[in-house]
Amino acid sequence: MLDTRAFLLALNGHGAEFYTGVPDSLLKHLCAAITDNVASDKHIIAANEGNAIALASGYHLATGRVGVVYMQNSGLGNAINPLLSLADTEVYAIPMLLFIGWRGKPGKHDEPQHIKQGKVTTALLDAMELPYVVLAKEMPEALEQVTTAYRHMKEYETPYAFVVEPDTFETYVPVAKHVVSGNMGREEAIRAIVEQLPDETAVVSTTGMASRELYELREARREGHGKDFLTVGSMGHSSQIALSIALEQPERPVVCLDGDGAVLMHMGALGVIGARKPKNFIHIVLNNGAHDSVGGQATIGREVDLATIARAAGYTKTVSIHTIEELQSCLKASIGVGPVFIEVLVTKGSRKDLGRPKTTPLENKKAFMGFLDVSH
């Protein structure tokens, strides 16, 4: 495995000073080292991976230097357009160094949402004609690869990618502590929400810990899982899934359990919801100011006023909640008067023994459509 801080210092030795991206669990130790050792004005955790490509492009245009971008391979979908229509050698020829976490690598056990992405990761890079190598796990070879990458970027003015396998970087214990205040945990908030919802409510939950906690809560309550669509992938898109369900079944309450990182990733979705104005739609954002499921790195969720943004986007009612009592009261008054936007300020972190769904995505889909009374 690679000494994470030493590897970062080696990048800096090649002139790397600007870092941006969306955190990934395979890169969490590298991300922690960046946070600790790179000046805060030279490190931007982006809203989405496409934004990160644009940020690195702007950095190069302003300085002539090469930015570093990190992402999970699931983020390639967001990054493909600016990589091909902005940074590619046949367009603006903007060099940047990419680190792409290889979730779902063939032969490695992983969650179902990563399997297909893992199978096609290198094929996508080949199709994009984007030069890449799998990052070595021994320092001498890895440092040689870095030298080759910088030489290639200088000669051909192209992005260059390192595909990063599991267990590539050694554990890095961050010095900087990202503390988020709150009066309740996310799991506590989800429990209070579920207890208040009418039986006929359909719930669409976002990527990450929220879906895992919702699943375990249903297990503990012995309720089954048909009422919930667990969006285990497709970060940032849960609200649009929920919106479409709400529009097609207007008599049924529909709740989207979202996260701050997911909302920020595709914030334009708020405007679409506000414009359509489904009365049966409740959008609950569990805001802990962090990418909790991939290492707890900071988002700007606590630095922007999400409730005011939702109000400007056209939601009928928006509110920011600090306590369980406020949450319970607000939910009672939100049925049928949507679209309602409820920001719930929660703390970071989750139980150490938090499990994962035991049902497959296909089983979840069939049970959910059964609950919606859809013949398929």
Three-class SS of 286-301:
EECCEEHHHCCEECCC
21 within domain boundaries: yes
Model pTM? 0.94
Q: Which of 113, 132, 164 is the last residue of a domain?
A: 164
10, 134: one domain: yes
123, 232: one domain: no
Strands 317-321 and 340-345: what pairing?
parallel
Strands 281-287 and 297-298: what pairing?
unpaired
Backbone angles phi, psi at 247, to 5 degrees: -70, -35
Would you call 346 helix, strand, or coil by DSSP? coil
Cβ contacts of 313-319, under 8 Å, gap ≥ 24:
313/270, 313/271, 313/273, 313/274, 314/271, 314/273, 314/274, 314/275, 314/277, 314/339, 315/270, 315/273, 315/274, 315/283, 315/339, 315/340, 315/341, 316/277, 316/279, 316/340, 317/341, 318/342, 318/343, 319/343
Residue type, 20: T
What pLDDT is recorded for position 90? 97
137, 19: one domain: yes
What pLDDT is recorded for position 26? 95
Give the Cα separation of 66 and 174 in Å (integer): 25
Would you call 354 helix, strand, or coil by DSSP? coil
150, 18: one domain: yes
206, 350: one domain: yes
Residue 53 confidence (pLDDT) above 80: yes
Q: For residue 222, give Cα distances in angstroms to 25, 48, 202, 216, 225.
A: 31, 37, 17, 10, 9
From 198, 203, 123, select the one nearest 163 (Cα to Cα).
123
159, 191: one domain: no
What pLDDT is recorded for position 112? 85
Summary mean pLDDT of the chain: 95
First to last CA, the chain: 48
299, 330: one domain: yes
Q: Encode pLDDT of 90-136 as tens digits.
A: 999 999 999 999 999 999 988 888 999 999 999 999 999 999 999 99
Using only C-alpha atoms, what is the Rg of the chain?
Answer: 21
169 within domain boundaries: no
Counting the structural domains of the chain, the total is 2
355 within domain boundaries: yes
Q: Which domain holds residue 352?
A: 186-371
Q: Encode pLDDT of 347-372 as tens digits.
A: 998 888 888 889 999 999 999 999 99
190, 119: one domain: no
